[in-house]
Amino acid sequence: MKEIDYSLRKLHFNFEAILSIVKEMNLSKTVLSEKIAEFSTMYTELVKTNNTKIFLFCLDSLYFQYKSSMMDLHAMENNRKFIMNRMYCDYYKLYHLIISDLNEKGILILELKTYPKYKDLDILLEYNLDTIVNIHGEILDILYKLYEKLKTNKASIQEHMDTKTVLSISNFLNTLKYENGILENQVILYINYLSFFHFSQKKMLIKLYSKMSEFNRDMEEYMGFNRIISIDDINSIYSESNSREENDYSDSDTSEVENKIESKSTQPEYKSENEEKPNITADIIEMKESNVQESGKVVENGKGENIGIQESGIQESGIQESGKVVENGKGENIGIQESGIQESGKVVENEKGENIGIQESEIEDDDKTGSTIIGEVVQEETEE
């Protein structure tokens, strides 16, 4: 029971912290609007006295800065409206849910107070902050009433247990404890609903306030910049460290982002220092040297005369008997069987069984549906 009382007080103080963030955001929005207005005023005054083409070209960057800042502020303002709209949505729907449940179950008979109807399709509609505070206060009041009812029920059970007829009303007391336990779980459930809303809302508000604070620091940096930009300043955005005060709500660090960008620009091609780049050319040469057999060997015929040079014979990957010397029917060397892929370089015989030539490269397709004959059968007249 004490845990429920503590939880309710914790919800109250946490909502006060949420309201403090909202108020700080509203103040920050006003300050940013005033600073952006200074850009507009400065541009208008400079254009009046410097309206030549070249000066208008130079001053266009100032107008761009003004428009860019306005777009950033507008985006943050829409984000703020969206969060505030969601806050009212959460409390409005939870309030109606609690009233409906309690009245339906007869736990408490409560009057449903009138609040502006929430419009699901209009997500940027901003409801009055006082309305949000009031409906949140109504929810807490209901939870306090349920807590008081819990304490009353528990006191009633204890009072019955203090009588001398406990034995006869044991089932009655068990039922009272059971119903009181259901009510207690119901209160805890509503507290957890509200706790989740507080957590998510606070997280979103802190994130947005952090962006607004960062934007405010950037604006001050622009306005306080007191030197002319030259070629020497090109890389300063990554090398210079900005001295900025840490904010209680801020969880971002601009220098960390800059370091990440700089590290990406100098990142080596290979992740590991020990990892070597693959030398494809060296691998190919090594493969060829390991597979070549007796390349460049002189071939003689039956009479001891040199008839040619045995070229590279490679027997890997389906290549068979490349560079083999071919003899005719009389045992004389008549040629060299060239690169044979599968049945490439097959010896062709005549009707008498004598070798008359060599069938050149025959390559089969991958799908083995047919073959392509490269070259024709070379015939050589044989002496009778």
pLDDT tens digits, residue range 111-154?
Answer: 999 999 999 999 999 999 999 999 999 999 999 999 999 999 88
pLDDT of residue 288: 43
pLDDT of residue 276: 44
pLDDT of residue 158: 84
Give me the mean pLDDT over the 16-45 stretch. Answer: 93
Same domain, 222 and 129: yes
**Residue 256 in this model has a pLDDT that exceeds 50:** no
Same domain, 24 and 112: yes
**Residue 18 in this model has a pLDDT that exceeds 70:** yes
pLDDT of residue 304: 59
In a domain, 137, yes or no: yes
Same domain, 40 and 177: yes
Provide the percentage of residues in the chain whose pLDDT is more than 90. Answer: 42
Same domain, 100 and 40: yes
In a domain, 342, yes or no: yes
CA distance 239 to 116: 53
Same domain, 224 and 318: no
pLDDT tens for 145-188 read 999 999 998 888 888 777 766 677 888 888 889 999 999 999 99
Closest CA to 326 of 317, 335, 318: 335
Same domain, 321 and 197: no
**Residue 30 in this model has a pLDDT that exceeds 50:** yes
Q: Under DSSP, is residue 358 helix (H, G, I), strand (E, B) or coil?
A: strand
In a domain, 205, yes or no: yes
Domain count, the chain: 2
Same domain, 52 and 137: yes
In a domain, 280, yes or no: no
In a domain, 282, yes or no: no
Of residues 95 and 254, more confidence is placed in 95
Q: Provide the strand spans (E) within 96-200.
A: none
Same domain, 117 and 210: yes
Kindly report the average pLDDT of the chain as a whole number.
Answer: 74
pLDDT tens for 91-101 read 999 999 999 99
Range of the structural domain that residue 357 is part of: 290-373
Kindly state the DSSP code that residue 249 receives in the 8-state scheme.
S
Same domain, 82 and 174: yes
In a domain, 275, yes or no: no
Name the pLDDT band for 384 (thresholds 50, 70, 90): very low
pLDDT of residue 226: 78
CA distance 384 to 329: 11
CA distance 255 to 338: 68
Same domain, 15 and 130: yes
pLDDT of residue 329: 55
In a domain, 316, yes or no: yes
Of residues 297 and 66, more confidence is placed in 66
Closest CA to 124 of 86, 92, 94: 86
pLDDT of residue 300: 56
Give me the mean pLDDT over the 320-328 stretch. Answer: 51
Name the pLDDT band for 85 (thresholds 50, 70, 90): very high
pLDDT of residue 119: 94
Dig out the tokens for 338 from the structure.
């060239």
In a domain, 264, yes or no: no
Same domain, 156 and 202: yes
Same domain, 54 and 176: yes
Phi, psi values for residue 106, rounded to 5°: 75, 15
pLDDT of residue 301: 58
pLDDT tens for 193-243 read 999 999 999 999 999 999 999 999 988 888 887 778 778 777 765 555 444
